[in-house]
Structure 1
């Protein structure tokens, strides 16, 4: 099952058992602006921690299990996440789920965001009644997350490409040696607020040398923006993806070399 799902797919399954729609915007947006019918609120800041998790900004398995369980999410559920920022915050939830053992085939990003949804679909201001669930979370040691030494080894590896998903100014101010720049927003279609067409995405990725034949190592500053790029590449069928959770925050803290332009 594709990680990227369109609004029509979601609309048909809002009341379906085993599908849990998760809104990761701030609580005031969920309550005051409205949300997808039946969606539960799991704000972005609730599943991020600078010092409690296994790496980077991960929240820790126990804390994440409690958070998702309180929202009524089970590990066997299909999770559909959305935000109002082209999916970048929602993608971070999905990657966090995967890193804690949620089956990838049951993780989905709404293609588009709340603004795009609300133009065509029904919205609600009523929070659903959900029963607390038992969410089993355990950090996956052999998942896509990689450490700093693996990233360093990829610098001179002809079979790998390191991808910096930040803005041009950030990239020019300092990036990991050999990295190519691919601002995550370059993958977004402004009109639909979701991803560009598959053909457009593949053309852009090939132009930057980010091809499926290579191992793609993703980083940004705190592993938020790479989450969106990770989901986009999974959607396109990329298999060998490395997710550098520590990103530039850790790289700089450890005194590793940076290239400036």
Structure 2
């Protein structure tokens, strides 16, 4: 099974056979530099509250974005940002939701890449492609009713926000796991598999359990979703509406005294 996380060395060896997407702002992409062969799809261009469920941009917007940078459904896509991968992970989840089969997160980010690999300010000329969205290979998005029913099941609900946010209000029975706990400060990439497994096990988030992820607007859970897929978790559900929808629909919240 292909790993959903790509190491910098692997990417350096395969730059000619993959498509690389940089989701930073255009001024960073153009002014600071980017990976060789990368195209720029800024985060704000694929986030919308007027598209599909949650913050998904809508199939038409997504199709136009990918066609504009020359990506086809058969491409292997590797995504990065300069924020430990959390914005890039959101692109990855969006791609999976719209049926892209092979998309991966660069382990680390732009700053980590620059330590051992070259960057460029050259602009890549790409021809517009033809792109069609499809059903996801493995459906993973869940809605309000599914999450509400999960409260009374043996599923583990995971809140990936900071501790103070969790204390101000969280779903009943949810465990708190700040997504940044899974990131290594030194490498800027993921902690080792052993460290990740230990952190998750301490919270009761084990591979044998059904896991339901949420945060505020489904950005931070994107990173945690990638980590769990990377570790081989098979029952990972992604609440796209997250607390934005949950609160709007008067879902029950618990506060910590």
> How would you bin the TM-score normalised by the shorter chain?
over 0.9
The runs of at least 4 consecutive aligned structure 1 residues that moved more than 4 Å come to 139-142
TM-score, with normalisation over the residues of structure 1? Answer: 0.96
Distance 1:240 1:75 in 2: 25
The corresponding residue for 1:21 is 20
Give the CA deviation at 1:155. Answer: 1.1
Distance 1:14 1:127 in 2: 15
Distance 2:4 2:137 in 1: 22
Distance 1:142 1:152 in 2: 21
String of CA shifts for 1:40-89, please: whole Å, max 9, x gaps: 00000000111122x00000011101101111111100000000000000
Distance 1:135 1:21 in 2: 16
Q: 1:152 to 1:141 in 2, by over 3 A?
A: farther
Give the CA deviation at 1:138. Answer: 3.5
String of CA shifts for 1:179-227, please: whole Å, max 9, x gaps: 0001000000000000000000001101000011111000000000000
3-state SS of paired residue (2:114): helix
The corresponding residue for 2:8 is 7
Name the count of aligned residue pairs: 255
**Does 2:233 correspond to 1:238?**
yes
Query: Which runs of no fewer than 5 residues in structure 2 stay unpaired?
Result: none
TM-score, with normalisation over the residues of structure 2? Answer: 0.97
Distance 1:92 1:136 in 2: 19
3-state SS of paired residue (2:14): coil
Contact 2:211–2:237 (8 Å) recurs in 1: yes
Contact 2:159–2:174 (8 Å) recurs in 1: yes
The corresponding residue for 2:56 is 58
Query: Which runs of no fewer than 5 residues in structure 1 stay unpaired?
Result: none
Alignment root-mean-square deviation, CA: 1.1
Q: 1:11 to 1:141 in 2, by over 3 A?
A: closer
